[in-house]
Amino acid sequence: MTNRIKHIVFLIIPDATLLDITGPYEVFSQALEYIQRNNIETEFVYELHSVSISGKKSIRTASGITIQCEESIKTISYSIDTLLIPGVPNALVEQYKLSKNVLEWIAEQSEEIHRICSICTGSFFLAEAGILKNRVVTTHWEKCDYLGNKYKDIQVDSNPIFIKDGNIYTSAGISSGMDLALALVEEDYNRPLALEVAKQMVLYLKRPGSQSQYSSILNYQKTDYKPIQIICNWIYEHLQETITIEDLSEKVLMSPRNFARVFLRETGITPARYIEKLRIETACRYLTDTSLSMKEIASLCGLGSSDNMRKVFSKNIKISPMEYRHNFRTAF
């Protein structure tokens, strides 16, 4: 019996982030190898393709490693099942452009194929192609606000590792392409097979938490306004204490209402939310870098009790403090 072929196509663009391509590619390759090695009967098998956007076959990635493509988008003769589009480094996103012809080709594919997926900042190419209108999407946490501000008809969710909306799949930071690929393997075959692939690659089948656990509070401190700089530093040094808007506003000789307005203007976040995020990120560092108890960490970060810290973690990063320590602590 000859199995049906599912053609998985990786669009290789110049200066793409290498792991956006090789990570998911290896997941699909491992799935195919596992099926063949164990003589598993399946309705279909994968065939993987690396395809360039022009006649050039050797494409240099952002890391300097060159990928050899088998063909270009102009010569594809088979029916694509799944198209994966990588991103480029965050520093290039705002000025990087794909040609009109390539964007039109992506838009055409979205109407015909089973799945079209973006890895990390690849979501910007889908947006530019006009296929994310009125959809819920994600991208690298550092560029979520920029994506939402640039494309007002897109709903950007900065928390998930990946999102499925119809036949469009968008994923977050670089390594999330492997999370997405594992989910596609599970969708195509079954959970046990996807789990075997994850075990072979020493990955989580479903990674606990969300990409918010990787964001940095430093993004909210990019202000030149001295009073807010002073307050940000003071908050960090007094996390153990009860901190109120009245306390903070008094230190910079403002009314509570005016202080809250100025803080939001300068940082893009409310004082209360800033304090909560700083406490969470500080707790994360204690969890990974120390052997302190949950009670001790909660106290040091101003989160009160270990029970309250668990609730705050569950609400904000979808994972308990204990799980966070287990998953991300470095063993020495």
Write out pLDDT tens, residues 178-231.
999 999 999 999 989 998 998 888 776 667 666 666 666 666 666 778 899 889
The H-assigned helical ranges of the chain are 18-37, 90-93, 100-112, 123-128, 144-150, 176-188, 191-200, 226-237, 245-251, 256-267, 271-289, 294-300, 306-317, 321-328
- How far apart, in Å, are the Cα atoms of 289 and each of 115, 181, 294, 307, 320? 41, 31, 13, 21, 17
Is it the case that residue 3 has pLDDT exceeding 80? Answer: no
At 220 the pLDDT is 65
Q: What is the pLDDT of residues 73-89, one digit of tens each?
A: 999 999 999 999 999 99
Superfamily of domain 4-209: Class I glutamine amidotransferase (GATase) domain (3.40.50.880)
Q: Where do the CATH 1.10.10.60 domains begin and end in the chain?
A: 216-328
- The DSSP secondary-structure symbol of 170 reads E
Contact indicator for 249, 235 with CB cutoff of 8 Å: no
Contact indicator for 5, 47 with CB cutoff of 8 Å: yes
Measured CA to CA, the distance from residue 58 to residue 68 in angstroms comes to 5
Band of residue 290 on the pLDDT scale cut at 50, 70, 90: confident
At 219 the pLDDT is 63
- Residue 259, classified by CB atoms within 10 Å of its CB into exposed (0-12), middle (13-18) or buried (19+), is buried
Superfamily of domain 216-328: Homeodomain-like (1.10.10.60)
Is it the case that residue 317 has pLDDT exceeding 60? Answer: yes
58-60 vs 66-68, strand pairing mode = antiparallel
Measured CA to CA, the distance from residue 275 to residue 237 in angstroms comes to 11
Cβ-based neighbours of 85, under 8 Å, separated by 6 or more: 11, 13, 106, 116, 117, 118, 119, 122, 125, 126
Measured CA to CA, the distance from residue 279 to residue 310 in angstroms comes to 12
- The DSSP secondary-structure symbol of 213 reads G
Question: 11 by DSSP, 3-state: which?
Answer: strand
At 332 the pLDDT is 42
Helices vs. strands in the chain: H and E counts, helices first: 14, 11
Q: Where do the CATH 3.40.50.880 domains begin and end in the chain?
A: 4-209
Is it the case that residue 45 has pLDDT exceeding 80? Answer: yes
What percentage of the chain reaches a pLDDT higher than 70?
A: 92
At 215 the pLDDT is 63
Which of the pair, 302 or 215, is modelled with greater confidence?
302
Residue type, position 25, single letter: Y
Identify the sign of the CA torsion 178, 25, 40, 78: positive
At 158 the pLDDT is 85
Contact indicator for 315, 254 with CB cutoff of 8 Å: no
Question: 234 by DSSP, 3-state: which?
Answer: helix
| Terminal C-alpha separation, the chain | 51
CA angle 162, 325, 314 (to 5 degrees): 55
For the residues 115-127, what does the mean pLDDT come to?
Answer: 97
pTM, two decimal places:
0.76
